[in-house]
Structure 1
Amino acid sequence: MVSNADIPKRATSPNVALGMLLIVYIFNFVDRQILAILAGPIQADLALSDTQMGLLGGIAFALLYSTLAVPLGWIADKTSRSWVITISLGVWSGFTALCGLAQGFWSIFLARLGVGIGEAGGVAPSYALIADYFPSEKRARALSIYSLGIPLGSATGVIAGGYIAATVDWRLAFIVVGLSGVLIAPIFKYLVRDPSKAPVLTSSGQPQTRFVDILKILAGKRAFWFLAFGAASSSMLGYGIAFWLPSLLQRSFGLDLIETSLFFGSILLIGGVAGVIGGGILGDWLGSKNKGAYGLVPAAAFLLAVPLFAAGIMSGSATIAFILFLVPQGLAYIWLGPVLSAVQHLVTAETRATASALFLLINNLVGIGGGIFFLGALSDSLVPIYGDDSLRYSMLISLIFYIIAALLMMLAAKPLAREWVEDA
């Protein structure tokens, strides 16, 4: 880790900052993933179709989450990254609690829009703060530790949400999770401060922080676009499976809500944590020798995951499916450390949150907005052919997105070395 001497005296220590950012990210994914495990009770209570659930999990969340991330990332670069994260945590947690009061499709749809508005200001400024605190050679590992919030938060949302819904009510699960996040927000701001840093100047002596300047820089970065659309393609399937797998386990494998929670939560914890940490270690190790490895490592992981996911999806046994899903679940998370680190290195320090927000705009609008809805709509269209197994075949067809992602990551490898920006 980084010595405290390397950070300005008024700043938080790197390890404390990273720990608090991880906690916030865990809440981010608890709030996001809880909808998936509660899909069955919500559909039964509110009489919603798979297509409507796909809209709730996808476009209702992703529309404002993706688009507002860009101006909020720019504001974070110009003002305070820690303040933007704090306010965002309070907003998305409050709207998560409101989901528990929904009486129909449109009321829960609007509450999910609110969750997306709040979460828009959480991730990109966090990436930038981590890049501020940790040096280049340790950045992929630090970003991987932060990214543990995805499997840890998803597993917590799945297990806790499923238990509360099965023993009490799905509405209480939203309220408990949302109010917990509201309480964490002031603690985060008290403990985490922004490191002070001098602005990077252009040749004319002016700060290079205009939004149009960042767009011009990224427009010429081929690696950025290959990485962004590669991540987006992988997220089409990744978010789609994360949202719909609990429903598949109940429909095609006959598991009840608590069994589904334990099955899926265990896969997320074991496979997800191993994949995130492994990706960060591989990224820093191989990337120190060849910058192209930041794209090649994820490409290899996606290609290896396809046949294993297919075998798990088509398995007739829940026990065999659990074993088959473990490895590809880990492979699906390997990209996070290498790719997120590479994006931080395609721009200078004072524009990282904005660049990250533009990356997330592409990744999330396509991945979350498209993937969850696509799998749900495809499942509905396959019902006349496959009946209760329509979701199984929807997932199987969607594995093509990992193959596309692998090809785009490979294309990013060569320009990465040329477009890499070393820390000043």
Structure 2
Amino acid sequence: MPEEESPGPAYGWYALGVLVLVYALNFIDRQMLTILAVDIKRDLHISDAQFGFLYGTAFGVFYALFGIPLGKLADRWPRTRLLAIGLATWSTMTAASGLACNFTQLGFARIGVGVGEATAGPCGYSLLADYFPPRRRATAVAIYSAGIYLGGGLALSIGAGLAHAWDHAFVLGARPLGLAGWQAAFLGLGLPGLGMSLWVSSLKEPRRGRHEVGHRIMEMSGRDALRAFGRDVATIAPPFTVFMAARRGVKALVVNLLLLAVCALAAWGLTEWLGDMPQWIVLGIGVYAVVSWTQSLRHDDPEAYGAIWQNPAVVGINIGYGLTCALTYAATAFGPLYAMEVLHAPANEVALIVGGGGAAGGALGVIAGGALGDRLSGGVYHSRRLVVVLGALSLAMIAYGFLMATGSAHVFYWIVFPLWFLLSGALGSAAGTIVNIVPARVRATATASFFLGATLLGLALGPYVTGRLSGAWHSLWVGLTGILVVMPFSFASLVIAWRHLVRQERAKGL
């Protein structure tokens, strides 16, 4: 166990810079699938719904599930070490995506990317909460989150550029190892992450809760932390979930088996009704695993359970922002394809303008949203951060309406920047609210629950539903407008969270 450090302000900004690069690489590896969609769909003979599954469900469910035990491990074990291991894992699996020859192989590679990337959010958010004092946290988290949009934008340009260069350098019969351009792009972007993992492992590990007066948290020994991690994995991984429930008593076992039966029946029914068996099996596993984890957390760690699942503000933010992500991830997955197939824009132009505009708008928006939330809250009025979230989303809906109403690629390009500026502004303040309203001991676990909503509600459903609607109606426009149905529910959940925080602040005399 390395000795805990108390790095100064300058080192915090240096560490933030490294973490932004890590998060950018995280989203480059995740997002590159979208600009390569045309070639992947053609070579692997997959539908829009299957593409939505690959982009969203296969990645998102396992990203969300492993974020739970990895988030708890980040609360107990050196976070810099865990993040370095995660970076090496997802980089390896990104490279493996380039060796996929069919839908199934690419699906398993995407699952591996999701497991590795599940370390980035909990470790990064928890580290920043100890590198920076409360008055700077939302700004730091927002800058870190800008890596999402920088990576997402760069993924389009880099992925398209690598694939184009490879396909033009080698004629079909002379390609090394028979690799297509999209496969070479995955290999070319996956391997550098292995070297970057060594850089991450060199970061200083700050003492937990060092900015909270009189608050000190002791980490477990490495062996005890890994044993606890094994137990946490068992709480989400069937069939071990059943054994873990049995250890808590007959009542817990019966409840767990009933939940398993309900999830299995729902997955079977949806498969019979809609088809797409992998989507519903994976999503059913995800829902059952989350419920099993919640049961276990309530029994084993009542403080963490109370701070996350019994706090209306946390639950409201997780559901509200998660539903927003259904729209965000749908647009991310199919927006470039929509520009190419419906508006007939060339791939290199979409990569440059949509990728660049989305990256710039997203990066600036998430920083602006976090900084504005910090300024309005004054470090104590956390309800004001949610005013920023609600305001940004309201304006984003206007921009999205214009985006889907235009038939011009040039108008589409102009709307990309403000749309992503506003959508990402909501993330900056939503994430900043979470890390400020839960105790320091459970920040990484609470962050994992935040990403749980964003992935299970947003990533696992948004792209698939959009692809399904697109296939059913033979129209990507229908898919991208139909997903708007989630937004009234998103606003309602966020308003409930806001009202709870207002009541808390009034009760404190603020």
TM over 0.5: yes
2:202 aligns with 190
1:414 aligns with 499
SS in 2 for 1:399: helix
Shift of 1:105: 0.3
CA distance in structure 2 between the aligned counterparts of 1:200 and 1:21, rounded to whole angstroms: 24
CA distance in structure 2 between the aligned counterparts of 1:214 and 1:128, rounded to whole angstroms: 15
- Does residue 161 (structure 1) correspond to residue 246 (structure 2)? The answer is no
Which deviates further from its counterpart, 302-311 or 110-119?
A: 302-311
CA distance in structure 1 between the aligned counterparts of 2:7 and 2:324, rounded to whole angstroms: 40
SS in 2 for 1:78: coil
Shift of 1:182: 1.2
Which AA in structure 2 matches 1:268? G
Indicate how the Cα distance of structure 1 residues 300 and 11 shifts in structure 2: closer, same or farther if over 3 A, else same. Answer: closer
CA distance in structure 1 between the aligned counterparts of 2:452 and 2:354, rounded to whole angstroms: 27
2:471 aligns with 380
How high is the sequence identity, in percent, across the aligned residues?
32
CA distance in structure 1 between the aligned counterparts of 2:63 and 2:414, rounded to whole angstroms: 34
1:133 aligns with 131
Which deviates further from its counterpart, 52-61 or 329-338?
A: 329-338
- Does residue 333 (structure 1) correspond to residue 345 (structure 2)? The answer is no
Which AA in structure 2 matches 1:394? G
Which AA in structure 2 matches 1:172? A
CA contact 2:55–2:463 (8 Å) conserved in 1: yes
CA contact 1:80–1:194 (8 Å) conserved in 2: no
Shift of 1:11: 10
Shift of 1:174: 0.4
CA distance in structure 2 between the aligned counterparts of 1:144 and 1:102, rounded to whole angstroms: 35
SS in 2 for 1:13: helix
- Does residue 316 (structure 1) correspond to residue 423 (structure 2)? The answer is no
1:234 aligns with 324
Map Cα deviations across residues 333-353 of structure 1 (whole Å, 9 max, x no partner).
011221111111222112110
1:147-296 to structure 2, matched below 5 A, reads 147-168=145-166, 169-195=181-207, 198-199=216-217, 211-288=301-378, 290-296=381-387
Shift of 1:419: 5.4
Which deviates further from its counterpart, 106-115 or 9-18?
A: 9-18
CA contact 2:466–2:482 (8 Å) conserved in 1: no
Indicate how the Cα distance of structure 1 residues 337 and 116 shifts in structure 2: closer, same or farther if over 3 A, else same. Answer: same
SS in 1 for 2:163: helix
CA distance in structure 1 between the aligned counterparts of 2:204 and 2:146, rounded to whole angstroms: 19
* Partner residue of 1:396 out of 481, 488, 506: 481
User: If you compute each CA radius of gyration, which structure gives the higher value, 1 or 2?
Assistant: 2
The number of residues matched between the two structures is 403
CA contact 2:56–2:459 (8 Å) conserved in 1: yes
Shift of 1:354: 0.9
1:108-147 to structure 2, matched below 5 A, reads 108-147=106-145
2:434 aligns with 343
Shift of 1:401: 2.7
CA contact 2:84–2:201 (8 Å) conserved in 1: yes
Indicate how the Cα distance of structure 1 residues 229 and 404 shifts in structure 2: closer, same or farther if over 3 A, else same. Answer: same
CA distance in structure 1 between the aligned counterparts of 2:8 and 2:363, rounded to whole angstroms: 32
SS in 1 for 2:217: coil
Which AA in structure 2 matches 1:181? G
Shift of 1:414: 2.2
- Structure 1, unaligned stretches of length 5 or more? 1-6, 202-207, 384-389
Indicate how the Cα distance of structure 1 residues 38 and 419 shifts in structure 2: closer, same or farther if over 3 A, else same. Answer: farther
Which deviates further from its counterpart, 291-300 or 35-44?
A: 291-300
Shift of 1:107: 0.4
Which deviates further from its counterpart, 366-375 or 260-269?
A: 260-269
SS in 1 for 2:461: helix
Which deviates further from its counterpart, 323-332 or 181-190?
A: 323-332
1:10-89 to structure 2, matched below 5 A, reads 13-89=11-87
CA distance in structure 2 between the aligned counterparts of 1:174 and 1:282, rounded to whole angstroms: 37
TM value normalised by structure 1: 0.90
1:362-373 to structure 2, matched below 5 A, reads 362-373=453-464
Map Cα deviations across residues 116-153 of structure 1 (whole Å, 9 max, x no partner).
11011121121111111111111111111001101100
- Aligned Cα RMSD in Å? 2.2
